[in-house]
Amino acid sequence: MFLGNPVFPISFQIEQVAETVEATIKKKNWKSFDRGEIKLVLTPFYIFYYDAVFEEEGKTTKKSERGRLALNGETAELRKELAKSLPQENELVKELPDQYPLVVRKPLFTKNEAEKIALLKTASLVGTNRDNIVLTGFQVIYYPMWIAFVTVAKQTYQLEISAITGEIFGEEKVPEREKGFVEITKETLSDLKRPGAWIEYSKGIADFAGDKMERNNSGRVRHVRKTGPSNMPEIMQRPFFWISIILLVILIALTMYL
């Protein structure tokens, strides 16, 4: 499809978007979800240069500054970082593959209106009077964003992915699903196959038991008189030992029946 205005070159393809969306949803523990159509949305930006001078009290010469900014054609928001990342003229594209499900958005204000808005916002941004600013080189350039819809738990959410960097936006709107007991148990059993995992789990149980003891009797450690046989190993007289044994029995039973 041929476009009248240039577009940032797309480096993050639609196949990568599908993988990113699925990985994002699975990371939130959703196994069952529906991914809708992925669309490429082109947002218009007015790219322009500004030249500004700053009056300094007591000095005959004035400090000057030149830069480039981008004005969102829909929201009138200034984007300095987007203007800085603008590729060279020969790297911009004016045609996209026809198989892309494409939505081309139009600016909500004219070039003349954009110049007036940009003058006010640039003066505020650089900190000088608008009479000391000249704007030049206004050009509309499209920034591509992938839009993907996913449905989980009968709710549909919109995700936005930059077609330039692959950065994803809106994932915080998708709730995280709480794992069930069976899932947690399977993950625990799988983790216990890792060398050293039993030591880590036992240490965690011991720390937990120790914290409980320290909180007894208004935060003071309660010293318990040993009542076991004198020939019983010291480790068997500690609470975390029996907790570990119970946990081991439960895990073995679960392994047999899951």
Q: Using one digit for the tens of pLDDT, what is the confidence trace for 148-196?
A: 998 888 889 899 999 999 999 988 888 887 665 545 555 555 555 566 6
Whether the predicted pLDDT of 107 surpasses 90: yes
Look up residue 149 and give its two tokens: 């819809």
Distance linking the first and last C-alpha atoms of the chain? 54
pLDDT, the chain, mean: 78
Q: Report residue 202's pLDDT band, with 50, 70 and 90 as the boundaries.
A: low
Of the chain, the percentage scoring pLDDT greater than 70 comes to: 67
Residue 141 is classified by DSSP as: E
Q: Of 75-79, 100-104, 124-128, 212-216, which range is least confident?
A: 212-216
Round to whole Å and give the CA distance between 22 and 160. 13
Pairing of strands 102-104, 34-54: parallel
Neighbours of 227 (CB within 10 A): 7
Angle at Cα 1 formed by Cα 37 and Cα 156, nearest 5°? Answer: 15
Q: Is 54 helix (H, G, I), strand (E, B) or coil?
A: strand
Q: What distance in Å separates the CA atoms of residue 73 and residue 71, rounded to the nearest whole number?
A: 6
Q: Name the β-bridge partners of 49.
A: 68, 136
pLDDT of residue 49: 97
pTM over 0.85: no
pLDDT at 82: 92
